[in-house]
């Protein structure tokens, strides 16, 4: 089922505040912020421009498992630089394809070079389920004669 609803619409239905961090912050500061705000990733901004993203996965694979110190390692050293992102008019189905193909959990939404929000795989799944439920309800009404002729 193709869902053409734009990412902008999904953003309008969720909290718009996006927690970010700078590349010179320590990984400890990033992990502390993620834990405090209950988020799994932080876009990394340098002078307002998206330059990367740091996730719990980055911390585990690039710091913890390698015996590095989170207090001495900077975000710029471990962040993912090739960030998958979308524009606000890209459809939900296209966003889901990107997270599936790129194996990422968070998609920054960029408009005119500026970060305007972030959608997670959880946001996308929740939206798809709600859309499918609404479609099923409409079809049931149609089949049972619930719609005016």
The tens-digit pLDDT sequence of the chain (149 residues) is 688 899 999 999 987 789 999 999 999 999 999 999 999 999 999 999 999 999 999 999 999 889 999 999 999 999 999 999 999 999 999 999 999 999 999 999 999 999 999 999 999 999 999 888 888 888 888 888 866 65
- Two structure tokens written together for 70: 């989170």
Asked if residue 27 lies in contact with residue 59, where contact means CB atoms within 8 angstroms, the answer is yes
Domain that holds residue 89: 7-143
Which CATH number covers residue 69?
3.10.580.10
In a domain, 2, yes or no: no
3-state secondary structure of 25: coil
Which residues, other chains included, contact 45 with Cβ-Cβ below 8 Å and sequence gap of 6+? 20, 21, 22, 51, 115
Domains: count for the chain: 1
pTM over 0.75: yes
In a domain, 148, yes or no: no
In a domain, 128, yes or no: yes
Polymer length of the chain: 149
What does the pLDDT read at residue 52?
97
In a domain, 1, yes or no: no
Query: How far apart are alpha carbons 1 and 93 in whole angstroms?
Result: 8
In a domain, 68, yes or no: yes
In a domain, 149, yes or no: no
Query: How far apart are alpha carbons 40 and 25 in whole angstroms?
Result: 17
3-state secondary structure of 109: strand
């Amino acid at each position: 089922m193709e869902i053409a609803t734009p990412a902008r619409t999904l953003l309008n239905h969720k909290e718009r505040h996006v927690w970010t961090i700078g590349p010179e912050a320590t990984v400890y500061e990033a992990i502390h912020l993620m834990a405090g705000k209950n988020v799994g990733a932080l876009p990394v901004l340098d002078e307002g421009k998206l330059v990367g993203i740091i996730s719990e996965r980055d911390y585990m694979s690039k710091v913890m498992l390698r015996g590095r110190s989170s207090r001495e390692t900077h975000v710029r050293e471990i962040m993912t630089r090739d960030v998958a992102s979308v524009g606000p008019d890209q459809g939900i189905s296209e966003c889901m394809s990107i997270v599936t193909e790129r194996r990422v959990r968070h998609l920054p939404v960029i408009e005119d070079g500026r970060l305007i929000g972030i959608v997670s795989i959880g946001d996308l799944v929740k939206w798809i389920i709600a859309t499918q439920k609404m479609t099923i309800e409409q079809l049931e009404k149609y089949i049972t004669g619930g719609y005016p002729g």
